[in-house]
Structure 1
Amino acid sequence: MPEATRDRAWIAARIPHQGSMCLLDGVVEWDAASVRCTATSHTQADNPLRAQGRLAATCGIEYAAQAMAVHGALLAEGARQRPRTGYLASVRKLVLQVERLDDIAAPLEISAERISGEGATVLYAFVVSAAGRTLLSGRAAVILDAAAVGDSAG
């Protein structure tokens, strides 16, 4: 199994989100098919996703998207390649078990499992939980290297 623990600095150096927009604290575990990350930024008053002092549960999608980006960076590093840029294209089967995340005291655990992927599209299933309780779950499609795909289509 690849090296498991990666901290926030490692994550921030490999995903496009910087400063307080880098929401994840670390990688707990990962392999070729999945990644599990932790985060405590949902409790911070200066979380950039907060609106009217609240962090809606739907913001958990961004936590999951960042975990997917981290997974791509881990896979690229293992293959000694440059990470591919990805864009969240769609979210399906979203189930929200709570209304907001900012009132959850426990650290978030974000799991993303790569269901399929070939070429420029990857499909992940994700779960955001805290203290063993599922907060939200769903599936997300990611388009890789979208600019290159758009250039070749024209």
Structure 2
Amino acid sequence: MCLLDRVNQWDATTIVCSASSHRALDNPLRAQGRLGAACGVEYAAQAMAVHGSLLAQADGAPRVGYLASVRSVQLHVPRLDDMVGDLTITAERIAGDANNILYLFTVAADGQTLLTGRAAVVLDATLLRI
């Protein structure tokens, strides 16, 4: 499932993507005919995955990443599917090492912030100390 349409810009720390799939009636995240705002976390996760893939091109093959946690999520609207304009998804890498990455993310449309949050991505779970 790919929800993003394009990468608008990216650099070593930030990626900005856009998507129109929130308006699609066959969006796989729709439930009971609507797309709740919390589904924006998946849009952000996909942007983070694309960012990792783009960064990995310089270092070799991309690694599999796992969304380990999502924190401080603030939903500013109840749903995404009633947004007329495309979604703009921004993910900014604010910390990390070779195995753990912390991103801030924002999903916006029509000049309005729809949701924000923070996500931790783990690239190799076997390296985690428990």
Consecutive unaligned residues in structure 2, runs of 5 or more: none
Q: Percent identity?
A: 62
Give the CA deviation at 1:33.
Answer: 0.5
Aligned counterparts of 2:124 and 2:109: Cα–Cα separation in 1:
32
Residue 103 of structure 2 is matched in structure 1 by 124
Residue 18 of structure 1 is matched in structure 2 by none
Query: After the TM superposition, which residues 25-104 of structure 1 pair with which residues of structure 2 at under 5 Å, given as runs?
Result: 25-77=5-57, 79-104=58-83
**TM-score, structure 2 length as denominator?**
0.95
Runs of 4+ that moved beyond 6 A: none
Which AA in structure 1 matches 2:42?
Answer: E
With over 3 angstroms needed to count, the CA separation of the structure-2 counterparts of 1:80 and 1:118, relative to structure 1, is: closer
Give the CA deviation at 1:61.
Answer: 0.1
As a proportion of its length, which structure holds more helix? Answer: 1
**TM-score, structure 1 length as denominator?**
0.81
Give the CA deviation at 1:149.
Answer: 2.9
Give the CA deviation at 1:119.
Answer: 3.0
Give secondary structure in 2 for the equivalent of 1:103.
Answer: coil
Query: After the TM superposition, which residues 102-141 of structure 1 pair with which residues of structure 2 at under 5 Å, given as runs?
Result: 102-141=81-120
Which AA in structure 1 matches 2:104?
Answer: A
Consecutive unaligned residues in structure 1, runs of 5 or more: 1-20
Count of aligned pairs between the two proteins: 130
Give the CA deviation at 1:105.
Answer: 1.1
Give the CA deviation at 1:127.
Answer: 0.2
Which AA in structure 1 matches 2:127?
Answer: V
